[in-house]
Amino acid sequence: MSVATDLKQPEAQPSPESVKMAGRNVSVFYGEKQALFDVDLDIVENQVVSLIGPSGCGKSTFLRCLNRMNDTIDICRVGGEITLDGQDIYDKAIDVVELRARVGMVFQKPNPFPKSIYENVAYGPRIHGMTSTKDELDEIVTTSLRRAGLWEEVKDRLDQPGTGLSGGQQQRLCIARAIATKPEVLLMDEPCSALDPIATAIIEELIDELRERFTIVIVTHSMQQAARVSQKTAFFHLGKLIEEGPTEQIFTNPHHQKTQDYITGRIG
Partner 1 sequence: MASNEHIVSSYEDELTELTRAISEMGGMVEVAITNATQALIRVDHELAKETAKADKAVDDMQRYIDESAVSMIARRQPMAADLRHIVSAIHVANDLERIGDIAKNLARRVKHIDSQRVSKQLYSGIRHMSDLTLGQIKRSIDSFTTRNADIAIDVCRRDDEVDALYVSLFREFLTYMMEDPRNITDCTHLLFCAKNLERAGDHATNIAEAAYYLKTGENLYYDIESGKVQLS
Q: Which residues bind to partner 1, rule: CB under 8 A?
A: 1-5, 7-8, 223-224, 227, 251-254, 257, 259-261, 263-268
The nearer residue to partner 1, 1 or 97, going by C-beta atoms, is 1
The nearer residue to partner 1, 60 or 233, going by C-beta atoms, is 233
Beta carbons within 8 Å of 208's beta carbon, 6+ residues apart = 48, 229
Q: Which region holds residue 48: left if phi is over 0, alpha if psi is between -120 and 50, else beta?
A: beta
Please, is 1 exposed, middle or buried when counting C-beta atoms within 10 Å of its C-beta (0-12, 13-18, 19+)?
A: exposed
Q: How far is the CB of 191 from partner 1 (least distance, A)?
A: 20
The nearer residue to partner 1, 236 or 251, going by C-beta atoms, is 251
**Partner residues linked to 216 by β-bridges:** 48, 186
| Vertex 197: Cα angle to 194 and 202 (nearest 5) | 95
Q: How far is the CB of 9 from partner 1 (least distance, A)?
A: 9
| Helix (H) / strand (E) containing 37 | strand 33-44
SS in 3 state form for 75-125? CEEEEEEEEECCEECCCCCCCHHHHHHHEEEECCCCCCCCCEHHHHHHHHH
Contact 235, 244 (CB under 8 A): yes
CB atoms within 10 A of CB 226: 25
Helix axes 134-147, 167-180, angle to 10 degrees: 130
The nearer residue to partner 1, 52 or 150, going by C-beta atoms, is 52
Q: How far is the CB of 236 from partner 1 (least distance, A)?
A: 17
Q: How far is the CB of 200 from partner 1 (least distance, A)?
A: 14
The nearer residue to partner 1, 22 or 263, going by C-beta atoms, is 263
Q: How far is the CB of 233 from partner 1 (least distance, A)?
A: 11
Q: How far is the CB of 228 from partner 1 (least distance, A)?
A: 11
The nearer residue to partner 1, 129 or 197, going by C-beta atoms, is 197
